[in-house]
């Protein structure tokens, strides 16, 4: 049961059914109350009309015995005096008991429970009607009347009238509530029968619609489970042609899978390339040490040191890339980029500084120094005679350009050179060309500092690397 209620379909069905049930109960209650009030008003009007007809006869001087009384079953009538003695009424009306202000007063043959004297408690100063007139005030109440041995509920109207002989009487006339009770009972029965059927219909429809709407979600879940089990990131979840939230969820999921597949493939390629790059210096160093162990006079100490340095640099590059891939954020701080450029260029041949003024940027000094060093190293490997370094500002950006007069980078290769372990000149030696990680590291650092690193064509025909960093 808990698992069923844990599904979206079950919760949506339960919520919709509950909301509809509350709305229907509230609407049904309002309808019943309105129906009851309307029928009560109709009964009051009927009783009021019957009472005034009899009161009009009394005001006109018709004798009590000759009063034209309405049908006693539809409108039982009794006339009482100020002392509440029965003056006239239907013979078949055995008793009338009027409920006023929430209290019932039992009666015998005459009206009980309501009289002009009772209303004096509410309005002591109200004047009685003049001789031959009917009071404008009509008092309505509810009670029972026993007619020919049968007792029913009635709405009563009480009207005061003063005869031409200056005798004040009260005419009580009732209107049956059987029609009201029957109509309310019928409506209530219909609601009690129809409400469960309607709720079942709403619940079933909601469950079916929700199930149909969520069917693509189940397909996405099943495919994701299969992808997880098979570890095949080339698979994709089905995308429904509905252009709704579920379709966008499927599209986003596939984009995530594509990014994850690319990341895993990049990681695998990185591990394979790193292993390949590490194998060469390690094998070379081992060979030299083995030869030195067997023939000390043949040990190439200088070569062993170079292989060791190369291995150390490669390990440092791999460690830095691992930290960058792990999301390492640059340390907060401000530094003078111009000063850093001068420090990195100091002691390098063929490097010319042009317009390098003070520019402050935020970030890690060691990482930005690594970027500058890698760019200058790359330029020195490819330049023939000259390397130009320029630093300027463009709005909120600091722009550093490193240009050489070498052979340049073909347009179709300008993005590829920033990939890891990529060397365009595969024929050149590893000692001269490095492992192909310098530019990849430089771009990663630039991006993590909120900047960019791109390559174009220098005025002298070589490569022009442009580093853009936000000013602090």
Give the pLDDT confidence of 358-401 residue by residue, as tens digits: 889 999 999 999 999 999 999 999 999 999 999 999 999 999 99
Instruction: Evaluate if residue 259 carries a pLDDT over 80.
Output: yes
Do 296 and 370 reside in the same domain of the chain? no
pLDDT score at 2: 46
Confidence bin at 153 (pLDDT 50/70/90):
confident
Q: How far apart are CA 116 and CA 14, in angstroms?
A: 57
**Alpha carbon distance 120, 128 (integer Å):** 11
Average pLDDT over residues 38-53: 90
Whether residues 336 and 421 share a domain: the answer is yes
Q: Of 100 and 208, which is predicted with more confidence?
A: 208
Same domain membership, residue 280 and residue 222:
no
State how many domains the chain has: 3
Report the alpha-carbon angle 203-207-209, nearest 5.
115
**pLDDT value of position 351:** 93
Residue 293 lies in a domain: yes
Question: pLDDT class for 431, splitting at 50, 70, 90?
Answer: very low
Q: What is the DSSP letter of 128?
A: P
Report in angstroms the alpha-carbon separations of 189 from 26, 185, 194, 195, 197: 16, 6, 8, 10, 13
Q: For position 114, what pLDDT does the model report?
A: 44
Distance CA 223, CA 234 (A): 12
Closest alpha carbon to 143 in 127, 131, 123, 158: 158
Among 453, 443, 449, residue whose Cα is nearest residue 335: 449
100's tokens:
């006023």
Contact assessment for residue 141 and residue 99, using Cβ atoms and an 8 Å cutoff? yes
Q: Please check whether residue 237 lies inside any domain of the structure.
A: no
Residue 63 has pLDDT above 80, yes or no: yes
0.75 exceeded by pTM:
no
Across the chain, mean pLDDT equals 83
Three-state DSSP state, 68: coil
The residue among 295 and 340 whose pLDDT is bigger is: 340
For residue 303, the domain's CATH number is: 1.10.287.130
**Shared domain check, 349 and 421:** yes
Instruction: Using the 3D structure, point to which of 297, 322, 347 is the last residue of a domain.
Output: 322
Give 137-151 pLDDT, tens digit per residue: 889 888 888 887 788
* Cα distance between residue 20 and residue 203, in whole Å: 9
Summarised one tens digit per residue, pLDDT across range 218-247 is 888 888 999 889 888 889 988 888 888 888
For 39, the domain range is 1-231
Kindly report which listed range (125-129, 190-194, 434-438) carries the lowest average pLDDT score: 125-129
Report the pLDDT value the prediction gives residue 72, as an integer from 0 to 100. 61
């Amino acid at each position: 049961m808990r698992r069923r209620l844990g599904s979206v379909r079950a919760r949506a069905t339960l919520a919709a059914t509950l909301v509809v049930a509350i709305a229907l109960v509230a609407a049904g209650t309002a309808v019943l109350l309105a129906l009851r009030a309307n029928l009560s008003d109709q009964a009051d009007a009927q009783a009021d009309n019957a009472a005034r007809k009899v009161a009009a006869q009394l005001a006109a001087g018709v004798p009590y015995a000759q009063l034209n009384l309405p049908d006693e079953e539809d409108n039982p009538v009794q006339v009482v005096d100020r002392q509440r003695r029965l003056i006239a009424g239907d013979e078949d009306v055995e008793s009338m008991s009027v409920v006023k202000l929430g209290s019932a007063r039992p009666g015998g043959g005459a009206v009980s429970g309501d009289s002009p004297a009772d209303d004096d408690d509410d309005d002591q100063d109200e004047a009685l009607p003049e001789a031959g007139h009917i009071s404008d005030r009509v008092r309505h109440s509810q009670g029972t009347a026993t007619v020919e041995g049968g007792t029913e509920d009635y709405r009563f109207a009480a009207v005061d009238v003063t005869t031409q002989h200056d005798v004040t009487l009260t005419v009580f006339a009732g209107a049956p509530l059987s029609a009201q009770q029957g109509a309310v009972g019928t409506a209530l029965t219909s609601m009690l029968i129809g409400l469960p059927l309607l709720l079942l219909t709403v619940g079933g429809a909601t469950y079916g619609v929700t199930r149909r709407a969520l069917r693509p979600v189940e397909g996405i879940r099943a495919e994701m489970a299969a992808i997880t089990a098979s570890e095949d990131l080339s698979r994709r979840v089905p995308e429904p042609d509905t252009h709704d939230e579920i379709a966008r969820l499927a599209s986003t999921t596939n984009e995530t899978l594509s990014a994850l597949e690319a990341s895993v493939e990049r990681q695998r390629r990185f591990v394979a390339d790193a292993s390949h790059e590490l194998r060469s210096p390690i094998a070379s160093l081992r060979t030299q040490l083995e030869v030195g162990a067997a023939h000390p006079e043949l040990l190439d100490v200088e070569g062993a040191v170079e292989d060791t340095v190369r291995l150390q640099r490669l390990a440092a590059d791999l460690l830095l890339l691992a930290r960058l891939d792990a999301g390492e954020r640059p340390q907060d701080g401000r530094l003078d980029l111009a000063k850093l450029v001068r420090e990195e260029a100091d002691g390098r041949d063929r490097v010319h500084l042009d317009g390098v003024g003070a520019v402050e940027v935020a970030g890690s000094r060691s990482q930005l120094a690594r970027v500058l060093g890698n760019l200058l190293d790359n330029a020195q490997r490819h330049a023939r005679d000259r390397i130009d370094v320029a630093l300027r500002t463009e709005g909120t950006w600091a722009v550093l350009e490193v240009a050489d007069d070498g052979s340049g980078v073909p347009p179709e290769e300008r993005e590829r050179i920033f990939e890891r372990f990529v060397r365009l000149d595969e024929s050149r030696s590893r000692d001269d060309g490095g492992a192909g990680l310098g530019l990849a590291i430089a771009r990663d650092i630039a991006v993590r500092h909120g900047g960019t690193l791109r390559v174009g064509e220098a005025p002298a025909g070589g490569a022009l690397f442009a580093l853009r960093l936000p000013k602090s």
